[in-house]
């Protein structure tokens, strides 16, 4: 049997959940980005519906919202509309910069955040999606 080269969103959520449980946010980001960057493979193999099954919570509202918004952004960048209904989340109550450790990085993230995340009050540089 041939090994699958893409991962489903529930599998991405499982990886993120495990990394967060181990206190490793950096690894959680890498696992999320790696999985999201494999969605075009699922599309090419005509398995996108299977890949986009709604995941269980990762155990953290911010991360659940980041994952959903990131899936919406990735699908939009792939030219796929509309995104699954489960990816529509309410905005976080407070702004969140998941990856900004300096005021300069916060500013850059605000300027480069995709609309799919900005509407969720998450500021995350769109360039992060191509660097994983």
User: Can you give the pLDDT at residue 1?
Assistant: 57
Three-state secondary-structure class, residue 96: strand
- In 3-state terms the chain splits into helix, strand, coil percentages (rounded to 5) of 55, 0, 45
Coil, strand or helix at 26:
helix
Would you place residue 41 in the very low, low, confident or very high pLDDT band (cuts 50, 70, 90)?
very high
Q: Is the pLDDT reported for residue 100 higher than 80?
A: no
Structure tokens at 6: 């893409």
Could you tell me the residue range of the domain that residue 56 belongs to? 9-130
Q: Kindly state whether residue 4 falls inside one of the protein's structural domains.
A: no
Measuring CA to CA, how many Å separate 15 from each of 3, 10, 52? Answer: 18, 9, 15
Number of domains comprising the chain: 1
Average pLDDT taken over every residue of the chain = 94
Does a structural domain hold residue 51?
yes
The model's pTM: 0.94
């Amino acid at each position: 049997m041939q090994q699958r080269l893409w991962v489903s969103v529930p599998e991405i959520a499982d990886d993120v959940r495990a990394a967060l449980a181990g206190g490793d946010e950096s690894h959680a980001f890498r696992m999320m980005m790696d999985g999201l960057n494999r969605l075009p493979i699922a599309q090419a193999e005509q398995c996108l519906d299977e890949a986009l099954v709604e995941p269980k919570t990762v155990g953290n509202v911010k991360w659940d919202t980041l994952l959903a918004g990131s899936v919406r952004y990735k699908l939009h960048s792939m030219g796929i509309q509309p995104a699954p209904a489960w990816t529509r989340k309410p905005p976080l109550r407070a702004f969140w910069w998941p990856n900004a450790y300096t005021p300069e990085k916060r500013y850059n993230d605000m300027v480069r955040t995709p609309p799919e995340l900005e509407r969720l009050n998450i500021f995350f540089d769109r360039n992060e999606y191509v660097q994983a």
